[in-house]
Amino acid sequence: MAAEDEECELNDRQKEEIAKWFLLNSPAGEIQFVAKDLRSVLNNDKVYDDAVSYAFPLYNKSHLICLQFPNRSGDVLITSYNEVDENEFLDPRTAQVATVDHVKQVCTDVRPATDEELPSPYIEDFRCALDAEIARYVGEAYPKGVCSVFCVKGKDAELPGSDFEFVVVISAAKISPQNFCNGSWRSVWNIEFKDEEQVLEIRGKVQVGAHYFEEGNVQLDAKHECKDATIFQAPDDCAISITNIIRHHETEYLASLEASYSNLPDTTFKDLRRKLPVTRTLFPWHNTLQFSLTKDIQKELGIGK
């Protein structure tokens, strides 16, 4: 028996990999809670420290978290597109670079960005115009949304005739653990400015996450990709066209999600149940909108007593 127990015991490397998985798959706003529980379960500071030092930077960048500067002069999105160094991230709107403690999820310092870290004046005209339009859109569409526009290619171009690329990042989260629900909206839009063809190619990736955990554990992880294009114009005109395209696709995707969930009682929920459950009582699908997912259904079916 003792030999069997020894064979089942995980080594430190295996424990670390499992801990990383749990951390990286934490729902929006919940990685700190998961880390706290893992510390207790692991009871091994080295395994815990190795896991969090690996997972937190990846989680912060994939979830596009927003951190406030220590001097309250602005905030910065944590993404792979504005990463200057391992713990430094550029905020092009304020031309500052924030130093970040990934595990604590706070900015510890801020400094002015160098000229080498910022786009040329020609590129910055396009970036600023787009940033202003996107910020206006996000302010209208997302109550707690934040956004930024980063130049990821061709930032040193000084005159027309060069190609360059922007990434628009939009992040919105509603963290309400006291109400047993958290959610996030993350969208990333790559815009390639092709001067020779006089066209802008736009590729978007949207990810929506939600976690409801009152008397249960229900999660949503929906992803969507799309493409579009518009003509190369002056900075202000480009900004308006790009923002209108982003607004159109995001609104359309949100409407499709709402339509899917309005049909849940007639489609998905039915597929999750037997035609005739063990109680030998047919489920009253005509009344599904009146039930919660737990107590009301149990009461109606006479189960769980």
Judgement on whether residues 203 and 240 belong to the same structural domain of the protein: yes
How many residues does this entry show for the chain? 305
Q: Are 131 and 169 in contact (CB under 8 A)?
A: no
**Residue whose token pair is 């859109």:** 137
Query: Which letter, b or e, does each residue of 122-132 get, where b requires 16 or more Cβ atoms within 10 Å of its Cβ?
Result: bbbbbbbbbbe
Judgement on whether residues 149 and 216 belong to the same structural domain of the protein: yes
**Residue whose token pair is 């924030």:** 98
Judgement on whether residues 138 and 226 belong to the same structural domain of the protein: yes
Q: Is the pLDDT of residue 221 over 70?
A: yes
DSSP 229: E
Q: Is the pLDDT of residue 166 over 90?
A: yes
The pLDDT value given to residue 228: 97
Residue 290 lies in a domain: no
Position 36 confidence tier, pLDDT thresholds 50, 70, 90: very high
The pLDDT value given to residue 288: 55
CATH code (residue 259)? 3.90.1150.210
Judgement on whether residues 147 and 258 belong to the same structural domain of the protein: yes
Judgement on whether residues 50 and 99 belong to the same structural domain of the protein: no
Q: Is the pLDDT of residue 295 over 90?
A: no
pLDDT, tens digit, 9 for 90 and up, residues 167-202: 999 999 998 888 888 999 999 999 999 999 999 999
The pLDDT value given to residue 287: 62
Q: Is the pLDDT of residue 300 over 80?
A: no
Cα distances from 251 to residues 26, 138, 178, 231, 245, in angstroms, run 27, 12, 29, 22, 10
Residue 275 lies in a domain: no
Residue 273 lies in a domain: no
Average pLDDT over residues 157-172: 95
Bigger pLDDT: 79 vs 271? 79
The pLDDT value given to residue 213: 86
Strand partners of residue 269? none
Judgement on whether residues 9 and 101 belong to the same structural domain of the protein: no
Position 7 confidence tier, pLDDT thresholds 50, 70, 90: low
> How far is 208 from 20, CA to CA, in rounded Å?
22
The total number of structural domains that make up the chain: 3
- Range of lowest pLDDT (13-22, 75-84, 193-202, 293-302): 293-302
* Amino acid residing at 89: F
Judgement on whether residues 152 and 56 belong to the same structural domain of the protein: no
- Range of lowest pLDDT (17-26, 206-215, 222-231, 260-269): 260-269
Judgement on whether residues 256 and 147 belong to the same structural domain of the protein: yes
CATH code (residue 52)? 3.30.1140.60
Position 136 confidence tier, pLDDT thresholds 50, 70, 90: very high
Judgement on whether residues 256 and 160 belong to the same structural domain of the protein: yes
Judgement on whether residues 12 and 102 belong to the same structural domain of the protein: no
Q: Can you give the pTM of this predicted structure? A: 0.83
Q: Are 81 and 190 in contact (CB under 8 A)?
A: no
Bigger pLDDT: 276 vs 55? 55
Give me the DSSP letters along 210-224.
Answer: EEE-SSS-EEEEEEE
First to last CA, the chain: 39
pLDDT, tens digit, 9 for 90 and up, residues 66-113: 999 997 878 999 999 999 998 999 999 999 999 999 999 999 999 999
- Range of lowest pLDDT (38-52, 142-156, 206-220): 206-220
Judgement on whether residues 200 and 104 belong to the same structural domain of the protein: no
Position 24 confidence tier, pLDDT thresholds 50, 70, 90: very high
Q: Is the pLDDT of residue 1 over 50?
A: no
Q: Which domain holds residue 102?
A: 66-112
Indicate the residue among 44, 62, 80 that finishes a domain: 62
Q: What is the percent of the chain with per-residue pLDDT over 90, rounded to a whole number? A: 71
Q: Is the pLDDT of residue 18 over 50?
A: yes
CA atoms 95, 119, 207, 54: torsion sign: negative
Longest dimension (CA), the chain: 76
Strand partners of residue 224? 206
